[in-house]
Amino acid sequence: MSVLLAWLRVAFVDLRGDLRRFGVLLACLALGVATIAIVGSVGAALQSALERDARQLLGGDLEAGLSYRFAEPAEIELFQSLGRMSELVEISASAQLREGETAFLTLRAVDANYPLVGTVAFSAPQAPGATLSDLLVERDGAWGLVAGSLLFDRSGLAIGDRLTINGTSFELRGVLGEVPDQLTQAFTIGVPAVASVQALKATGMIEPGVLAQFRYKIALADPDGFDAAAARIRSTFPQAGWTVSSPQNATADLSRFFNIFARFLTIVGLSALIVGGVGVSNAIAAYVTERQRSIATLKALGASSSRILVHFLAQVVALTLVGILLGLLLGAVMTVLALPVLGDLLGIDLPPVIDPASLAIASGFGLLVGVAFAFLPLKRAEALRPALLFRAAGTAVEGGLNWRQLLAPGFLIPMAVTTGLIFLLALLATRRPVLVLWYAVGIVVAFIVLRLAGLLLQRALKLLPAPRHAAARNALKSIYRPGAPAPTVILSLGLGLSLLLLIALVDNNLRHQLDREAIPDAPSFVFMDLFDDEVASITAYTPTNPDIESFEATPVLSGAIESINGAPAASFNTADEEFQALLGQEIPLTAAAALPDRSTVTAGEWWPADYAGPPLVSVFSELGNRLGLAIGDEVSFRIFGEEVTARVANLRDFTWRSGSINFAFILTPGVLDEFPVSYLGFLKSVPGTERDVQQALIAQFPGTIFVPIAEALDVFAGILNSVTNAVALVGGLAVVSGLLVLAGAMVAGRRQREADAVIMKVLGATRRDIVVAYLIEYGLLGTLAAVVAAILGVVGTWGFVEFVLEIGFSVDPWVIVGVIAAAVVLTIAVGTVTTWSALSVKPASFLREE
């Protein structure tokens, strides 16, 4: 032990001196660690906020929900016996504003007790001090409506103006701000608006078949009595089909979304650190090159190879710890700054608190990456032969390890252990083994491909006939000469660029999905809650309007999966969280005689168009496979309180975003006849006539609810923007890491480049001669790195988009061209800057120093 301590003491004393040479190493580590720390801390803060505010986000201790009717008096009595109760109904509504103008609303009808937890933010300048209930009462022939600012902005309406909903008059009395339980509801397309339950009943909109959510929020007398209260509701009204949610259930979807998002960002952050690891490797390699004489001296004085390894490994660990500390500080500061901003965006309170577990994980990653990437150059130091160094004057050319040395246990075992630990830590951070495995495969492939690309370039250039022009000749030779920085430049630049391209192309693909042109038969308008007569009217009207291409309607109602082959859905476990969630809530159901467009039967058979036998069901194949469904299995649904059992007739495959109507479960015709259904209608207009068609529909069918699809896509696009901006921010840190690594690779070779430039000048080369040679060299390296990165980026994007996001894959060639061009320019610029400084060295002063 004392021997080891003595070795360590010498190692740390040896580290004294100008630590600025380790600037790039420290920056690479710090940036990577900071990125992971920020992502982890923000993710933890979001989860913690959801747990802390779950009760407020649900709006009570318990929520009982139905999709087809108000609670009956006996049910209300039970709810009120459990604690303080508030009634809330959510429904889509079309508001008639002025002549020919409508607005699509997401209407919340509330009672006087709402909200039970938290407060509704609103402004009512004409009624200062008024409560929400005060604003919503009927007065002067109109009910009160408090609507989101978007309604006022788009329509030019003001407080005091009136509108009608289903013929009932409403007066705008306030501007709606945040609603405490809004975050947990599915994101809305329409403008949010609040009215009273009495007002909703007065509109007459609530008819059997209308898609609405009837929610009863209860602040339990016994806050810990959720289980007992839920059991009582289910056992007292077993046939009604009440969905009973706890605060944890309510936040489950959001928690899942944040989790998925945080996992993805963790992977991006880990990429930043791995790219930075290349910088660590380059910096340590340069340091070892610089210290070759010292190493030779130590060995000449009797130091063993293992002592050399311990000496420099201790220095690497010390530097890594400094880098980690800097990264944690940076991560903590940025987390503290980011959390309140993010909280404002999401409408939840996110106090600036650091998560210790996230910092620990980030530190672990930093230490493992630092050691793993420094290990190869350290082994080179261990293997240096002092005799070689004492033969040559000036800077010696350092050799690499041969295959035998790379496969030796002394190298292989530590590398296997550290990379294995990185993998385990990634598993711990993301809890997605398949994602981490494929990510690891992708990184290894990227490394191998880029390394091979560098080697192949060198081999190919060596075999090429020498160009006639000396500058070109020297440039090409500089790429394949021993000790050339070419492999490092290609690896460093290639990794950073691959990541940048991956992020840019994934963003592009996501946005393309929302581009209507990407959906071949995208409808122009979507109608909701249509009844039979309205469907008939619109169908009859369609041929009379030349601007309308087509209209189709499909029946839809909500139902929940009750059991599968007799086993209750609640007891069913799938490995997939998203499908697990599907089993716990109401889902849209439909019936159809014919196989929907763009669908294919993958197992079983589709029923005849005139089928009239026992209920059958067609299941989306991916869902069916994950549930383990086979042809002939029984699935029971609870619809309007009644149990409907259907036998699986086929599994069906389709593309969700093909533009045609499709559902996860389709029943045979007639199954839904005894239930009050409404229809979803899809109307397609001639491109460019949407505005005219909208006016015509409002005039012809004033009571119908429809939304222009462009508006819906705008909402999606707005959410997507926030998501992709966050990804781009984190990804940007990874790219900065790549640039640091590239700069480090250039700086590491600077001394030799200065010496070479001086000799060239002495021999009569002009600055132009030297610069032209470097421009050719770095231009070639940048181009190759960019081309390989483009291939890796496109392949990586395809894999991610197809198998993780499960959306269509497309490539925008201009994005790739732009990134390649930027990479070439950047490489030349960085190479030129470092070369220019080398050219500034006066030959006389250099030669004198020697």
**Positions that interact with another protein (CB under 8 A):** 388, 391-397, 466-471, 473-474, 477, 481-484, 752, 755-756, 759-769, 843-844, 847-848, 850
3-state SS assignment for residue 235:
helix
Burial of 619 (0-12, 13-18, 19+ CB in 10 A): buried
Min dist. Cβ of residue 362 to another protein (A): 39
Residues 494 and 792: beta-carbon distance below 8 Å:
yes
DSSP helix/strand/coil, 651? strand
CB of 298 to another protein, least distance (A): 20
What is the number of other CB atoms lying within 10 angstroms of the CB of residue 131?
12
Minimum distance of another protein from residue 477's CB (angstroms): 7
Q: How far is CA 507 from CA 6, 795, 801, in A?
A: 54, 15, 10
Contact 744, 285 (CB under 8 A): no
Is-cis flag, bond preceding 115, omega within 30?
yes
Q: Which one, 444 or 762, has the nearer CB to another protein?
A: 762
Cβ distance to another protein smaller for residue 304 or 766: 766
Give least dist CB 748 to another protein, A.
14
Q: How much of the chain is helix, strand and coil, in % rounded to 5?
A: 55, 15, 25
Structure letter (DSSP) for residue 519 = S
Sign of the CA dihedral with 773 first, then 774, 775, and 781 last? positive
Using DSSP, state whether 512 is helix, strand or coil. Answer: helix
* End-to-end CA gap in the chain: 42
Least distance to another protein, CB of residue 418, Å: 32
Q: Which of 711, 632, 763, 836 is nearest to 105 (CA)?
A: 711
- Closer CB to another protein, 477 or 647, in the complex: 477
> In this structure, are residues 669 and 618 in contact, taking their beta carbons and an 8 Å threshold?
no
- Please, what is the minimum distance in Å from the beta carbon of residue 755 to another protein? 8
Q: Which is nearer to another protein, 395 or 585 (CB)?
A: 395
Q: Pick between residue 129 and residue 465 the one whose CB is nearest to another protein.
A: 465
* CA pair distance 59, 119, nearest whole angstrom: 10
CB nearer to another protein: pick between 4 and 300: 300
Measured distance CA(68)–CA(63) in Å, rounded: 16
Least spacing, CB of residue 824 vs another protein, in Å: 24
Nearer residue to another protein within complex by CB, 12 or 390: 390
Minimal distance in Å, beta carbon 292 to another protein? 11
For another protein, which is the closer residue by CB, 302 or 764? 764
Closer CB to another protein, 5 or 392, in the complex? 392
Tell me the two tokens of residue 737.
């890491």
Cβ pair 492, 742 in contact under 8 A: yes
The answer to whether 185 and 90 have CB atoms below 8 angstroms apart is yes
Q: Which spans in 347-385 are helix H? A: 356-383
Nearer to another protein, 460 or 466 (CB): 466
Give the Cα separation of 199 and 139 in Å (integer).
11
Backbone angles phi, psi at 196, to 5 degrees: -90, 160
Shortest spacing between CB 843 and another protein, in angstroms: 5
Least separation in angstroms between CB 399 and another protein: 9
3-state class (DSSP) for residue 109: strand
Nearest residue (CB) to another protein, 125 versus 394: 394
Distance of CA 268 to the CA centre of its chain: 10
Both tokens of 488, joined, read: 């490092």
Q: Residues 6 or more apart from 381 whose CB is under 8 A from it? A: 288, 291, 295, 308, 309, 312
Q: How far is the CB of 744 from another protein (least distance, A)?
A: 20
Nearest distance from C-beta of residue 451 to another protein, angstroms: 20
Q: How far is the CB of 505 from another protein (least distance, A)?
A: 38
Rg of the chain over CA atoms, in angstroms? 34
Closest CB to another protein among 764 and 813? 764
Identity of the residue, 699 or 844, whose beta carbon is nearer to another protein in the bound complex: 844
Supply the minimum distance, in Å, between the C-beta of residue 471 and another protein.
Answer: 7
Structural contact between residues 304 and 295, judged by C-beta atoms closer than 8 angstroms: no
CA distance 18 to 40: 34
SS3 181: coil
Residue closer to another protein by CB (options 67, 289) is 289
Cβ nearer to another protein, comparing 218 with 476 = 476
How many CB atoms are located within 10 Å of the residue 337 CB? 12
CB distance 118 to 132 below 8 Å: no
Cβ at position 475, least distance to another protein in Å: 11
